[in-house]
Amino acid sequence: MSDDAFTFAPWNPEAAEETGYSHYSYWRSTFRTFIKNRLSLTLLIIMGVLVLFSLLYPVLASVDPNKVALDSSLWNRRPDFAHIFGTDGLGRDIWARTWYGTRTSILLAFTIAFFDVGIGVVAGALWGYVRKSDQIMTEIYNVITNIPSTVYLILLSYIMKPGFWTIVIAMSSRGWITIARFIRNKVISLRESEYNVASRCLGTPLNRILGKNIIPFLVSIIIMQTALTIPYSIGAEVFLGFIGLGLPLDTVSLGNMVNQGRSNFMLYPFQLTWPTVILAVITVSFYIVGNKFADASDPKNHL
Amino acid sequence: MKRVLTFCLMVLAAASLFARGAGETPDQYRTTYATEVKTLNYFLLLDTTALRVAANTMDGLVENDRYGKFVPSLAERWDHNGDFTEWTFYLRPGVKWVDSMGQETAWEVTADDFVEGMRFIAEPKNGIKNVGIIRKVISGLNGYYWDLVDIDDGVDIGKTREEALASFDSSVGVSAPDKYTVKYTLDNPTPYFLSYLVTELFFPLEKEFLDSVGAEDFGTTKEKLIFTGAYYLADWQRDKEIRLAKNEHYWDAGTVNVGEISLQKVADDSIRVQMFQRGEVSATTLQGDQVKALEGTKWAENVFLDEKSSVTYWFAMNYTSDNPEARAFINNVNFRKALYHGIDRAKLLELVNPYEPEALLRNTIIPEDVIFDENGQDYTDYPLLKEVKERRTYDRELAQEYFQKAVDELTDGNGNIKGVSPGTVDMLPIAEIKADGKLPVQILFVHPTDPTKTREALLLQEMLRDTFDGQVELVLGQYVDDKYNDTIKPRRFDLLYDSFSFKYADPMAQLGRLVTDGSVNDGQYSFPEFDKLVEEADGKTSLTDRYEIFSRAERFLIDNAVIIPWQAGGGAYSMDTVVPFSTPRGGFGVTRFKYKGMILQQNPITADQYKMLEKAFRADLAPN
Amino acid sequence: MSRYIVKRILQSLLTVVIVVIAVFLLLRLMPTSGYFTRDDYINMTEEMRSAYLRNLGITDPAVIQLQRFFAGVFRGDLGRSITVYPKLPISTILAEKVPYSLWFGLASMFISVTLGFGLGILMARFKDRWPDHLGTAYVVAVRAIPSLIYLFLIQIWVTGIMRWPMVFYEDRPVTWILPVVSLSLTGIAWYGIWLRRFMVDEENRDYIKFARSKGLSQKYIMRHHVLRNAVVPLVQYLPVQLLLTIAGSLIIESIYSIPGMGGLLVYAIKQQDNNLVQVLVLIYAVLGVAGVFVGDLLMAFVDPRIRLAEKKKKKEALRV
């Protein structure tokens, strides 16, 4: 047997790929798995429509959600043609307020999610990747999760004026660390996972490992975290309104509407019901869609 | 005789109603409070909850009956000298202080206790804020008080603190000639002195008990108080319940019909009407839209309009605001008059009374039906005030006219406010104002956070926008806990409303607090002309002269719109199980918080029942 | 083992100290008027105020103040409240309030664990059938809808239908029901959903497949293998949740007027009662840290495979 019984095969990336699933695309599979589920697809559409509508409503309609009626006969009107959801105790149109409120709450929630996830992912990746940082980051994690969140919120509202950015800063200064920890754990387990080690042994370049194996995983986590942070942020805004640290009272937000509608709930139930229904549909949709997306993005579920 | 008849009528009415119910007179009056009291030291009344407790657990020398007449209480009788400067009270012997178990203590209520009470409030270190009301009434009190303050501030006044304290008995006009006689010496003739005596400032204090608990801890728990009133503090569980139980050793126990008063803490007021409908509280007031929502339900017949009180609400403006736009305009009399005529006060009141909001308005600072001169004429019927009382202030055109004048005087014609440079005004945490030095003029209106007050603020904002064509823009700011400490003291407002309760039967009680350094001069204005009138009036002893000059002073405030009177307290739509007119009546001190004599019925009062009893009551009252 | 415990205790202490220092420094940002009762403040001149602050030691360097605070705590002296309950010893306040939050918390925790485990087992057993869907719907509703809304509706409607009093009265046990149930709603959902997930994970393990092929009954496998292993990661969270029940629930205590700990921290901060804030933060930090520590020990105890010094993957996978 001599050496010329063998010839070196030329390095061919395409051919190398063919050992696996030749036509497997992570994103396509994720998407396919996701839309196979009727419920999540329906909710995604509903959610999209609601979000889009709330963002477009101020452009489309000219009703001022803050317009107070001086004529008291326009106060507390039950739903009719002029006011689809009725009016509140000062004659303000609840339909308009619902959409403006939804918009405020969604913007707030997205902003918080953006910072939470943005900072969380970067910090988490570093935390997982740079071994030396582990001890410090763990201590930071312990400290932050042990300071009651109300302490932050109230101190911040004293230092800054109560408003949109105060809530964003207060929420994000706490939210990022849990996401960072989650990402860190993922990074560690991914880094050590056998298929990545195997890929590396086979000589796959690092950028391919990152691009094909790690980043898709992280992106799906990011999307899921964003989706789950949103209902949480909306709920937090309502809660802050309850303890008197929410958005300014003349800002239209779901939290303010819920807290103001609560006082007359037994008398004029419609004032609370409709905003609440819209709110619940949005938060529930985000929650379910986020979870379903997480399932769909797990390659184990792709076959 | 007639009175006896009315009383029988009331009892019958109540009886016939509970015949339908469970068949038993309720023995417990249940009500709620929203924020926890800091202390129950009855000399330090900071909120209505503490007032309620003090009014029912402590008796003073005299009290008001249900017609508002001053009648004996711990004092059996009294007399005074010819010019009303010396008053002598003869105590009821044998009345014992009662502890928080309802047991008689070894201490008897004696004349010394009234002297000790005065000594306690005269000590600046005890921080009794209301003492200012009587400092200039009791002779020598003012000097004694300020001596102590000076000594504490390190000013050398030629005597030590001990010497100053020792001078109390000789220099302050209160004394105990014998065990059951209390004597007050006053600086000026004061025919209305009795009206001071229903305030907490004249309550007795048992020295030995105070020493045993320490002045610091007095009133911090139920064990650290003893009582002389119709009830004793049986339980005080912070953030939950304050329970008052009938004092079986009370000198007038026969007139106390309800065995227990329970004050339950319910922070969330939105469920109060439901709590009433389900029998968990004995009374509730209703907002305008609540009344409307009850129309056509079975509860509609139980809704009645309560009486107005002597409390007056008014709009205060900040003359020394950090907000240059508002400061410029508020110091302009034409702008203030524009507000005076431009705020449709009745419209604001539609939020509480949708049917006849005008009934709640009050145009004068001093309430009607409270102060009468020797001839029985009501102070507010003096010519200068009668006209104010009967006028209608809201006038859109007039308001616009005044506003135009103010604008002409204060701006350069291009909408720039003269002497105001753009900048950010920091009134945080209430608000931050970006003053651009241009019209519209921005004014910070500060209000509490509850839903009704928020709606009121929004309505006022829209109203001023509408009246002044968008040239007056209210910026809304909220305080969370405390109006005085969060906004007035740190000067974080341009406009707000404040209120005062009446302290004693003289215009000085209110007008004297509105002078340049007065305690309710929220705006920190200074009108020497007004101060002079008040001083002049206060020097007069003839009531007619006195009231005439006071009416000129009051008219000055209103003509210059220095403050803007808004509405009377009380007068709310209510549902109640207390038989109307069964409790003590009176506009001063703690009287309106007293439950002595209260009759409860099983079913809520109906509006018809209220009207019937009111008619009978008025008929009784008329001859007095 | 004991070396590990000592190390962990020291680490926990460090965390507590850092938390307290951080909050201490944050509180320095607030105006000093928080150290006065309202009336004292009004009645004092500027000199009197600064003398008062000097007496309190507020003007001392932060290090000395902290030293004093910890020394006081060490002696068991928590100091007195300043503005929320003027001059009342903080230990008295805690003694009055903690029992309410604690009893309500313990009752609801008991319900959460029993019902939550029941729900989780049910959902796992009938995976992808209607009990599972129903359970999921419940979990989603509780977690996604702001709790203020449904808690308020429960109070209004249930008390109306059952003719119960609307707020809590200590002497009427019927009024204890709704607060406890309301407190349990999220807990049931939490235990339910995680137990289901861990059980489903466990069921797909090879050893279960082996056990099944060996002919063990489904019931036996579920009880002795799946459930036991699925419970382990949850056990770790019991101590911290148990200890933190004393913090109470702000919304529930507020709407039912329960005099517990729920709103105390918020009031204390809003009214700038710095002493009270400091003590509360210290307590919550200690309990939080101690809870995690005990949780780790407990986990090692119920699962002999886990050695404490190891990284605990299951714990890390769990995100609340």
Distance between first and last Cα of chain B: 14
Strands, E, within chain A: which ranges? none
Whole-angstrom Cα distance, residue B524 to residue B530?
Answer: 14
pLDDT given for residue A1 in this prediction: 57
pLDDT given for residue A194 in this prediction: 79
The reply to whether residue C255 touches residue B152, judged by beta carbons under 8 angstroms, is no
Report which listed range, A281-290, B45-54, B550-559, is most confident: B550-559
Whole-angstrom Cα distance, residue A170 to residue B485?
Answer: 26
Our CA angle for C149, C152, C158, nearest 5°, is 125
Our CA angle for B259, B264, B270, nearest 5°, is 130
Query: What does the block give as tokens for A72?
Result: 């008291």
The reply to whether residue A146 touches residue C280, judged by beta carbons under 8 angstroms, is no
| CATH superfamily of this structure's domain B309-570 | Dipeptide-binding Protein; Domain 3 (3.10.105.10)
Give yes or no for residue C317 having a pLDDT over 50: no
Give yes or no for residue A86 having a pLDDT over 70: yes
| Structural domain boundaries, residue A41 | 37-56+89-301
Answer whether B251's CB lies under 8 Å from B22's CB: no
Report which listed range, A22-26, A143-147, C44-48, C153-157, is most confident: C153-157
For residue A118, what are the CA distances in angstroms to A114, A125, A185, B438? 6, 11, 17, 42
Give yes or no for residue C309 having a pLDDT over 80: no
User: Confidence band (pLDDT; 50, 70, 90) for B502?
Assistant: confident
Q: Which of residues 401-430 of B touch A (CB under 8 A)?
A: 428-429
pLDDT given for residue B309 in this prediction: 87
Cβ count near C73 (within 10 Å): 17
Q: Which of A59-63, A219-223, B411-415, C103-107 has the lowest mean pLDDT?
A: A219-223
Answer whether A94's CB lies under 8 Å from A85's CB: yes
The DSSP secondary-structure symbol of A75 reads T
Q: Is residue A246 part of a domain?
A: yes
CA A192 to chain centre: 28
Within 13 Å, how many C-alpha atoms sit on residue C268's CB side? 24
Give yes or no for residue B617 having a pLDDT over 60: yes
Whole-angstrom Cα distance, residue A170 to residue B232?
Answer: 47
The reply to whether residue A283 touches residue C141, judged by beta carbons under 8 angstroms, is no
Whole-angstrom Cα distance, residue C5 to residue C298?
Answer: 12
List CB contacts (< 8 A) between A89 and chain B: 289, 351, 451, 455
Residues C103 and C149 occupy one common structural domain:
yes
pLDDT given for residue B9 in this prediction: 53
How large a percentage of chain A has pLDDT more than 90? Answer: 9
List CB contacts (< 8 A) between C19 and chain A: 143, 146-147
Chain A: residue whose CA lies nearest to C278: A151
Chain B: residue whose CA lies nearest to A257: B451
Give yes or no for residue B295 having a pLDDT over 70: yes
Give yes or no for residue A278 having a pLDDT over 70: yes
Structural domain total, chain A: 1
pLDDT given for residue C33 in this prediction: 64
Task: Name residue B417's beta-bridge partners.
Answer: B411
pLDDT for B92-104, tens place per residue? 999 999 999 999 9
Edge-to-edge, what's the strand order for the sheet holding B308-317? B472-479, B441-448, B495-500, B308-317, B564-570
For residue B343, what are the CA distances in angstroms to A210, B287, B397, B455, C85? 68, 21, 12, 15, 40
How large a percentage of chain B has pLDDT more than 70? Answer: 95
Answer whether B221's CB lies under 8 Å from C96's CB: no
Whole-angstrom Cα distance, residue A132 to residue A130?
Answer: 6
Whole-angstrom Cα distance, residue A204 to residue C216?
Answer: 45
Q: Is residue A229 part of a domain?
A: yes
Task: Name residue B33's beta-bridge partners.
Answer: B265
pLDDT for B424-468, tens place per residue? 888 877 888 888 888 899 999 999 887 788 889 999 999 999 999
CA B492 to chain centre: 23
The Cα of C31 is separated from the nearest Cα of chain A by a number of Å equal to 10
Comparing CB atoms, the residue among B270, B354, B466 nearest residue A263 is B270
Instruction: Let me know if A74 is exposed, middle or buried by CB neighbors in 10 A (0-12, 13-18, 19+).
Output: middle
The reply to whether residue A239 touches residue C146, judged by beta carbons under 8 angstroms, is yes
Higher pLDDT, B221 or C312: B221
Segment C17-39 shows an average pLDDT of 74
- Cis? peptide before B429, omega within 30° of 0: yes
pLDDT given for residue C145 in this prediction: 84
| Structural domain boundaries, residue C199 | 96-319
Residues C181 and C311 occupy one common structural domain:
yes
Whole-angstrom Cα distance, residue C8 to residue C6?
Answer: 5
Query: What does the block give as tokens for B191?
Result: 């025919």
3-state secondary structure of B54: helix
Buried-exposed string C82-92: b where 16+ CB fall within 10 A, e elsewhere: bbbbbebebeb
The CATH classification of domain B38-227, taken from the options 3.30.428.10, 3.40.50.720, 3.90.76.10, 3.40.190.10: 3.90.76.10
The reply to whether residue B481 touches residue C271, judged by beta carbons under 8 angstroms, is yes
Residue C90: closest CA among C104, C69, C106? C69
Report which listed range, A156-170, B175-189, C44-58, is most confident: B175-189
Query: What does the block give as tokens for B256?
Result: 């106390």
Within 13 Å, how many C-alpha atoms sit on residue C266's CB side? 23
Answer whether B599's CB lies under 8 Å from B569's CB: no
The Cα of A266 is separated from the nearest Cα of chain B by a number of Å equal to 8
List CB contacts (< 8 A) between B148 and chain C: none
Within 13 Å, how many C-alpha atoms sit on residue B321's CB side? 33
pLDDT given for residue C31 in this prediction: 67
Comparing CB atoms, the residue among A158, A178, A231 nearest residue C30 is A158
| CATH number for the domain that contains residue A198 | 1.10.3720.10
Residue B47: closest CA among B64, B29, B34, B63? B34
Whole-angstrom Cα distance, residue A65 to residue A93?
Answer: 6
Q: Is residue A172 part of a domain?
A: yes
Q: Is residue A190 part of a domain?
A: yes
List CB contacts (< 8 A) between B46 and chain C: 38-39
Higher pLDDT, C53 or C182: C182
Structural domain total, chain C: 2
The DSSP secondary-structure symbol of B367 reads P
Task: Name residue B475's beta-bridge partners.
Answer: B444
Chain B: residue whose CA lies nearest to A67: B462
Segment B290-309 shows an average pLDDT of 89
Report which listed range, A170-179, A208-217, B18-27, C100-109, is most confident: C100-109
Using the Cβ of A301 and the Cβ atoms of chain C, whether some distance falls under 8 Å is answered with: no
For chain A, the average pLDDT equals 82
DSSP H helices in C163-205: 174-203
Residue B74: closest CA among B282, B254, B291, B230? B230
Q: Which of A122-126, A148-152, A223-227 has the lowest mean pLDDT?
A: A148-152
pLDDT for A211-244, tens place per residue? 777 777 777 777 878 888 888 888 888 888 887 7
Domain coordinates in residue numbering, chain B: 38-227, 309-570
Give yes or no for residue A19 having a pLDDT over 70: no
Sign of CA dihedral C19, C20, C25, C30: positive
Comparing CB atoms, the residue among B273, B294, B428 nearest residue A161 is B428
Q: Is residue A160 part of a domain?
A: yes
The reply to whether residue A90 touches residue B459, judged by beta carbons under 8 angstroms, is yes
Give yes or no for residue B558 having a pLDDT over 50: yes
Q: Is residue C138 part of a domain?
A: yes
Residues C249 and C307 occupy one common structural domain:
yes
For chain B, the average pLDDT equals 89
Q: Is residue C80 part of a domain?
A: no
Q: Is residue A261 part of a domain?
A: yes
pLDDT given for residue B427 in this prediction: 81
Using the Cβ of C235 and the Cβ atoms of chain B, whether some distance falls under 8 Å is answered with: no
Comparing CB atoms, the residue among C22, C145, C251 nearest residue A284 is C145
Instruction: Give me the torsion for CA of B552, B557, B558, B559, rounded to 10°.
Output: 80
Whole-angstrom Cα distance, residue C202 to residue C222?
Answer: 10
pLDDT for B559-612, tens place per residue? 999 999 999 988 889 999 999 999 998 888 899 899 999 999 989 999 999 999
For residue B538, what are the CA distances in angstroms to A234, B187, B192? 60, 12, 13
User: Confidence band (pLDDT; 50, 70, 90) for A33?
Assistant: confident
How large a percentage of chain B has pLDDT more than 90? Answer: 59
